[in-house]
Structure 1
């Protein structure tokens, strides 16, 4: 039996992603008690290693085990570079565990978009995000193909929202993705650039934090009610 206020853990690789996710949960799932875990070496170490290694995967699994032992009733990994670890976690624990952008990708695929651009400022986030998106296509929209284009702008990392938006827009133009029907932000830390980027491109720009909060609310609310 879940308590009235379910305990939702979030594991972050950067403080900015944590703040953005907490804001989203406050707006979309205020009933939740949020437990934040930050390892601010996760992203840098993945960059140095050239991607997700077995050692880094085990490190993330230890963090997940920590929150599960602490009674977490739902878990969100806000770092897209570690999304593959969620598949293992789901086999080990009978608790809802979400990848950072999984809810976002589901919502985008249900929508009317035919050409979707995925943008990021950290290199490991690009293949991780595309892998998640493409893995969902057969289940979510098997009868409608989707054209995915990616763009990376490391200059957008840490920039002010308007500057980050310009960097991302430039990267999209260079990658041939400026004609996309929608743009998906592959990192929570890029969320402040959402509205300026939408204004520059004149297309919807979608972020993952709110979508994840809404999905966990839907998953946990029936259990609360029972």
Structure 2
């Protein structure tokens, strides 16, 4: 009997992130059936509220419930600003639920880098990334110190090419005193097209999260069989 392809859901806050994640699946996990859910108010509402509110957390949990109850065997949340909601989801469902950049952060922390820069173009992505990195350090890199610096490149929103985005990111890293980092982490999927140009400008490795996340999902869903979701009630 031929096993059906795994159904993997992605929840997106911006169309650009959706496109980049879909490209990563096409390259890294083409046998998966991908289910895309887009709420294009998620990021703007978080920005307007100054961060995640209880109402926004409940809203994301309802979206997660929707796809997992609908048969998804795994989930990738592509909006880094909502990564904290994944911790709650993991207590409610026995199913692979991945944060957008967690796999990338693990790769960076296990690598040889002593000074890591995290760059974003939306303010909520910076504290979300730092929270994830700081939570991972005790388990992944307790034996070696690491210096983590951040930069915010809000001007990137007006960039019309990957090269222009890279220049904005490089300028923001320089202004933040982070241009001497050993590696740069892109804290949003929408920045992924600038990875190559930015690496050329800075001369250091630049990591993005989509490919790493998809590879982790591929391993979880094809390496040991599927898991079933436990019942969970999400507040309206």
TM-score, length basis structure 2: 0.93
Q: Secondary structure at the match of 2:40?
A: coil
Structural RMSD (CA): 1.3
The answer to whether structure 1 residue 204 and structure 2 residue 205 are counterparts is yes
* Deviation of 1:224 (Å): 4.3
> For 1:57-114, what per-residue CA distance to the aligned partner results, in whole angstroms no more than 9, with x for missing partners?
0000000000011011000000000001000100000000000100000011111001
Corresponding residue of 1:55: 55
Matching of residue 36 in structure 1 with residue 36 in structure 2: yes
Q: Confirm or deny: 8 A CA contact 1:76 1:100 kept in the other structure.
A: yes
Alpha-carbon spacing, 1:217–1:158, altered in 2? closer, same or farther (3 Å): farther
SS in 2 for 1:83: helix
For structure 1, which runs of at least 5 residues remain unmatched after alignment?
none
Question: What does 1:111-122 correspond to in 2, within 5 Å?
Answer: 111-122=111-122
| Cα distance in 1 for residues equivalent to 2:223 and 2:62 | 29
Q: Distance in 2 between matches of 1:115 and 1:222?
A: 33
Residue pairs, 1:63-142, within 5 angstroms: 63-142=63-142
Q: Which runs of 4+ in 1 moved over 6 A?
A: none
Equivalent residues of 1:4, 1:224 under 8 A apart: no
Paired residues in the alignment total: 224
Q: Please name the residue that 1:161 is paired with.
A: 162
Q: Deviations over 1:32-60 (max 9, x none)?
A: 11000000000000000000110000000
CA distance in 2, matches of 1:76, 1:62: 15
Matches within 5 A, 1:7-26: 7-26=7-26
- TM-score (ref. length: structure 1): 0.97
